[in-house]
Amino acid sequence: MLDLPDRASVYEVGPRDGLQNEPSPVPTATKVDLIQRLAATGLPYVEASSFVHPRWIPQLGDAEDVFAQIERRDGVRYAALVPNMRGLDRAQEAGLKDVAVFISASETHNQRNLNRSIEESLENIRQIMEALQGTGAWVRGYVSMVFGCPYEGHIPLENVRHVAAELLKLGVDQISLGDTVGHGTPRSVNERTRDLATDLPVEQLALHFHDTRGTALANVVAGLDAGVRIFDGSIGGLGGCPYAPGASGNVATEDLVQMLHGMGIDTGVNLEALVDVALFVEGRLRKRLPGRYLRAARGLYEG
């Protein structure tokens, strides 16, 4: 029998993980509008932008402007990725309290994506956490390639455990375990997550699935059964990873919320409002997004 909870949380990463992969930059005003609409649906967390150098991700080069313009709602965390001390400085100048840091469980991916070793990344995150001491910041740590890597293939579970445990030791509040290119299967997600949860606090673990092979929601079920209660989504299924060949978008937030609600798992999110936001994104980007439920909900199936 599946082991299912009554409640789970959905974390929205679309404005960052989604929009960083859009071929052309989205106007700042549209981003601000999107972030506010997302926050209004009841999502507890909206990852709004990234303070990675604009040379690397020009799509999010307006992070300061975005944070200057959003009107914050109580009860919603608005965070951004910070890659290093320079990014943290920019984030703090922009008035951010909560941030997200990132690292890979794959040495090769970490080198290619971040141009440093995993140990150097941990040292970098240690500096960030030190600088954040006493600020009341809440920090999310992304660990990518948890279920496999396009460069290295199999990633030993002990590497994942090491990186996640080090982040928690450094004071990171929540670890998002990323199936960055969709290698995870319901079996590997269930087994790996259960195994990690034997010595890491499961309430601090989130799962971040990409839908490369269409198994993201199946992986969510496997993650629920393993005790995880926090799942990342990207509105409409926006996204991917520009440094991870073959990666497609994140699981669509509205598909995730729809499935959870259908299973009697409350998320506190207004699904109808979320579908409206997905349709808003489609309209602004002038393209069809991969999310499934928004088509079913609106009767938009083609022929």
DSSP string, 134-199: TTT--EEEEEE-TT-BTTTBS--HHHHHHHHHHHHHTT-SEEEEEETTS---HHHHHHHHHHHTTT
- Write the CB contacts of 82 (distance below 8 Å, at least 6 apart in sequence): 50, 51, 88, 90, 91, 99, 100, 101, 128
241 annotated active-site: yes
Contact 276, 182 (CB under 8 A): no
> Which CB, 91 or 149, lies closer to a copy of itself?
149
Handedness of CA 46, 51, 52, 57 (dihedral sign): positive
Q: Is the dihedral of CA 239, 166, 138, 224 positive or negative?
A: positive
Interaction between residue 252 and a copy of itself (CB under 8 A): yes
Q: Does 301 bind a copy of itself (CB under 8 A)?
A: yes
Q: Is 234 helix (H, G, I), strand (E, B) or coil?
A: strand
Q: From the CB of 8, what's the least distance to a copy of itself, in Å?
A: 12
Q: Measured from the CB atom, is 90 or 208 closer to a copy of itself?
A: 208
x/- string (CB under 8 A) for a copy of itself, residues 4-33? x------------------x----------
Residue 267 in the binding site for a copy of itself (CB under 8 A)? no
Look up residue 63 and give its two tokens: 């992070």
Please, what is the minimum distance in Å from the beta carbon of residue 228 to a copy of itself? Answer: 14
Q: Which is nearer to a copy of itself, 4 or 68 (CB)?
A: 4
Q: Please check whether residue 75 is in contact with residue 105, taking contact to mean a CB–CB distance below 8 angstroms.
A: no
> Of the residues 39, 88, 241, 294, which is catalytic?
241
Q: Is 58 in the site for a copy of itself (CB under 8 A)?
A: no
Answer yes or no whether residue 258 interacts with a copy of itself by CB under 8 A. yes
Name the residue nearer to a copy of itself (CB basis): 3 or 74: 3
- Verify binding: residue 291, a copy of itself, rule CB under 8 A: yes
The DSSP code for 266 is B
Check binding of 53 to a copy of itself (CB under 8 A): no
Query: Using CA atoms, how far apart are residues 220 and 216, in angstroms rounded to an integer?
Result: 6
Binding residues vs a copy of itself (CB under 8 A): 1-2, 4, 23, 182, 185-188, 190, 194, 211-215, 217-218, 220-222, 225, 240, 246, 248, 252, 255, 258-259, 262-264, 291-293, 295-296, 299, 301, 303
Residues acting as catalytic residues: 241
